C-alpha cells in the first residue's frame, strides 16, 4: 500500500487519533523525537538547586550549589542530610569507591566519608573540580585553570598529579575504562592515556569542537556544544546533532542518557538518539543518572524523573518493535519503512526537517511489515521520520540526496 500525502479532507478518518497525532507532532522540535506529555515527567524534589545526581543501588544522592548532600532510600519520598562538615560550596560530583566509601567534590576540594556521617578533606586544590570518575579504588578528578588531573589509587587516602605531560590542563571531563583514561580539555582537545597518566596522546581526529562531557558505553562518547560524538577506530564521528552544550552523561547497559537544555536518550548504545523536552521546568538540565526504569535529572529548580517505560523500551534496551527505513541515504522517490509489531493500532508517520517543520504526514492501518512512503516532493537534506503506534514512538534520521 503506497502512502499518499495527507489531504485536507482526510480528517473524516480517525479524527480523534489524528488530533492526538497532530498535537504530538507539534511538540517535536529540532530532534529525532521531542515529547512534551506531562505523564512521562514527575517532580521528585522541587525548589532545590541540584548540581549533582548520583545513584548507587537503591540510594539516590543529590548535591546542591550551597554545599549540601542529601540521600534518599525510598525513591525520593524522604531525604537525609549528609552535609555535616562540608563547606558552603558547589557540589560538583558524588560517587562511591571500594569499601563503600562516599566521595564528593565540593568547590576546589575532594572529600571522602567512610561512615557517611562526616567528611575528610583529602585533596585540596586551587581550582574548582569539574569532573570525577571512580573505578574501584581508583578516583580521578579533573580541575579547571592549570590544575589538571589528580588521582588516588587507594580509595582517596593518597593523591598524585598525573597530568604532567598534558599540554592543556584545564579539564572539562574525565572517563575511564579498564586501563584507558580519557580526558577532555577546554582548549587542547581530548587526550588518552593507557598508563594511568604517565603519558598522554591527543585523540582529536574528527573532533571539531570542545568536549564538555565524556562517557563510556560500547565505546567512548563525547558531548560538545553542537554534537554528540562517538569514538570509532581512533576517530570521532558525529552521531547526533544537539545544537546545545552537553553537560553530563549516564549509562545503563545499552542505554545512554545525556543532558543539556533537553534530555537525550539512546537505547542502542548510541546508534540512534531521542530528544525529549522537559515539561515541568524552563531551565536547562544539568545532571542525570538512571534509577530502575527512570532517569533522574537535576537542574536549577529541582529534581525530576522521566519514565522510560513511556518510550516502550524494556530494561535490556531492546525495542518492542523492529523498525528501520531502507534505503538510507534516499536517492529515489520512495522509501520503505519496515515495522514488525504485534500491535493492531493504526500507524502514524511524520517527516520533519532540521527546523522541526512537518513536511509529510500519513496514517495507515497496521496490516503488513513494509510501508512505502513517497518522498518525491521533499527537497534534498536531512530529515527525521517519526512513527507513532499507540503509546509507542520510534524515530530514524534519513538523508535525501536525489
Query: Which of 81-90, 116-125, 150-159, 265-274 shows the lowest mean pLDDT across its residues?
Result: 265-274
At 279-297, the pLDDT tens digits run 788 788 999 999 998 999 9
Cβ–Cβ contacts within 10 Å for residue 9, how many?
7
Domain 8-29+319-400 indexed as CATH 2.60.40.3080: yes
Banded pLDDT at 382 (limits 50, 70, 90): confident
Cα distances (angstroms) measured from residue 51 to each of 59, 229, 247: 17, 24, 11
Report the Cα–Cα distance between both ends of the chain, in Å, rounded: 23
Cα distances (angstroms) measured from residue 174 to each of 46, 62, 200, 262: 30, 20, 13, 22
Higher pLDDT residue, 22 or 107? 107
Those residues with Cβ within 8 angstroms of residue 40's Cβ, 6 or more apart along the chain or in another chain: 276, 279, 306, 307, 310
Domain 38-311 indexed as CATH 1.20.58.1880: no
pLDDT for res 356: 67
**What is the rounded CA–CA span in Å between residue 111 and residue 105?**
6
What average pLDDT does this structure show over 60-85?
98
**What is the rounded CA–CA span in Å between residue 214 and residue 62?**
20
Banded pLDDT at 177 (limits 50, 70, 90): very high
Mean pLDDT, the chain, integer: 85
Grid cell 517505560 is found at 309
**What is the rounded CA–CA span in Å between residue 129 and residue 372?**
53
Q: Percentage of the chain with pLDDT > 70?
A: 86
At 366-377, the pLDDT tens digits run 876 788 899 999
Grid cell 579498564 is found at 178
Query: Which of 17-21, 343-347, 358-362 shows the lowest mean pLDDT across its residues?
Result: 17-21
C-alpha cell at 58: 537503591
pLDDT for res 47: 95
Domain ranges in the chain are 8-29+319-400, 38-311
Higher pLDDT residue, 359 or 384? 359
Higher pLDDT residue, 293 or 232? 232
pLDDT for res 155: 98
Banded pLDDT at 391 (limits 50, 70, 90): low
Indicate whether 97 pLDDT > 90: yes
Higher pLDDT residue, 310 or 152? 152
pTM: 0.71
At 137-149, the pLDDT tens digits run 999 999 998 899 9
Banded pLDDT at 337 (limits 50, 70, 90): confident
Higher pLDDT residue, 277 or 104? 104
**What is the rounded CA–CA span in Å between residue 335 and residue 314?**
28
Those residues with Cβ within 8 angstroms of residue 134's Cβ, 6 or more apart along the chain or in another chain: 95, 96, 97, 103, 140
Cβ–Cβ contacts within 10 Å for residue 179, how many?
9
Banded pLDDT at 394 (limits 50, 70, 90): confident
Those residues with Cβ within 8 angstroms of residue 15's Cβ, 6 or more apart along the chain or in another chain: none
Q: Percentage of the chain with pLDDT > 90?
A: 59
Amino acid at each position: 500500500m503506497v502512502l499518499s500525502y495527507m489531504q485536507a479532507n482526510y480528517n473524516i478518518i480517525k479524527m480523534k487519533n489524528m488530533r492526538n497525532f497532530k498535537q504530538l507532532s507539534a511538540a517535536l522540535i529540532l530532534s529525532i523525537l521531542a515529547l512534551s506529555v506531562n505523564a512521562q515527567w514527575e517532580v521528585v524534589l522541587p525548589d532545590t538547586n541540584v548540581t549533582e545526581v548520583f545513584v548507587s543501588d537503591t540510594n539516590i544522592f543529590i548535591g546542591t550549589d550551597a554545599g549540601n548532600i542529601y540521600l534518599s532510600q525510598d525513591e525520593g519520598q524522604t531525604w537525609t542530610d549528609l552535609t555535616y562538615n562540608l563547606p558552603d560550596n558547589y557540589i560538583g560530583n558524588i560517587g562511591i569507591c571500594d569499601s563503600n566509601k562516599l566521595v564528593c567534590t565540593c568547590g576546589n576540594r575532594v572529600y571522602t566519608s567512610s561512615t557517611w556521617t562526616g567528611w575528610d578533606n583529602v585533596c585540596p586544590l586551587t581550582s574548582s573540580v569539574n569532573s570525577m570518575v571512580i573505578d574501584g579504588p581508583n578516583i580521578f578528578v579533573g580541575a579547571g585553570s592549570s590544575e589538571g588531573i589528580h588521582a588516588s589509587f587507594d580509595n582517596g587516602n593518597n593523591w598524585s598529579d598525573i597530568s604532567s605531560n598534558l599540554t592543556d590542563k584545564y579539564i572539562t571531563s574525565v572517563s575511564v575504562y579498564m586501563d584507558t583514561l580519557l580526558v577532555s580539555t577546554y582548549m587542547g582537545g581530548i587526550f588518552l592515556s593507557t598508563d594511568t597518566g604517565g603519558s598522554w596522546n591527543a585523540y582529536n581526529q574528527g573532533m571539531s569542537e570542545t568536549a564538555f562531557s565524556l562517557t563510556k558505553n560500547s565505546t567512548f562518547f563525547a558531548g560538545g556544544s553542537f554534537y554528540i560524538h562517538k569514538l570509532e577506530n581512533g576517530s570521532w564521528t558525529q552521531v547526533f546533532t544537539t545544537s546545545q552544550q552537553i553537560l553530563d552523561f549516564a549509562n545503563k547497559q545499552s542505554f545512554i542518557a545525556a543532558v543539556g537544555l533537553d534530555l537525550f536518550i539512546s537505547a542502542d548504545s548510541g546508534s540512534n538518539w531521542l530528544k525529549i523536552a522537559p515539561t515541568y521546568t524552563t531551565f536547562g538540565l544539568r545532571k542525570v543518572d538512571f534509577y530502575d526504569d527512570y532517569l533522574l535529572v537535576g537542574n536549577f529548580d529541582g529534581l525530576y524523573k522521566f519514565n522510560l517505560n513511556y518510550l516502550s523500551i524494556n530494561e535490556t534496551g531492546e525495542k518492542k518493535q523492529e523498525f528501520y527505513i531502507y534505503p538510507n541515504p534516499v536517492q529515489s522517490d520512495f522509501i520503505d519503512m519496515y515495522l514488525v509489531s504485534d500491535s493492531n493500532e493504526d500507524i502514524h508517520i511524520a517527516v520533519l526537517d532540521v527546523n522541526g517543520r512537518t513536511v509529510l504526514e500519513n496514517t495507515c492501518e497496521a496490516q503488513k511489515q513494509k510501508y512505502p512512503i513517497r518522498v518525491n516532493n521533499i527537497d534534498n537534506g536531512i530529515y527525521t521520520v517519526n512513527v507513532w503506534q499507540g503509546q509507542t514512538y520510534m524515530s530514524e534520521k534519513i538523508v535525501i540526496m536525489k
